[in-house]
Amino acid sequence: MQVWKTLKRKPPQLADAPELPEELRYLWEWFREVFAGEPLTYAEMQAWSSMTGKRLKGWESELIKSLDRIFWKVQHDRRS
């Protein structure tokens, strides 16, 4: 999304990407808030949760960790 906003057009790589379901948008925003440029730990998520008052349910924390793992896998694959 950020690339799209910056370029003012949809990049070709996102042409077939599905829309993010509105019901899950808050989790994407939470991931963006807690992401710090290093692989995410549960301790960091817990600290973020305490600091922001945003209480994570178990499945929400697992989904955020999955987003983080996907991000780092893509980063690694791009460098290879």
* pTM listed for this prediction: 0.76
- CA–CA distance, 28 with 3 (Å, rounded to integer): 15
Q: What is the pLDDT of residue 4?
A: 53
- Rounded to whole angstroms, the Cα distance separating 45 from 22 reads 22
pLDDT at 9: 65
Long-range CB contact pairs, 49-54, < 8 A, 24+: 54/30
pLDDT at 65 over 80: yes
Read off the pLDDT of residues 6-48 as tens digits, 9 standing for 90 and up. 556 666 766 777 888 999 999 999 999 999 899 999 999 999 9
**Amino acid 1: pLDDT:** 52
Per-residue confidence (pLDDT) for residue 52, from 0 to 100: 97
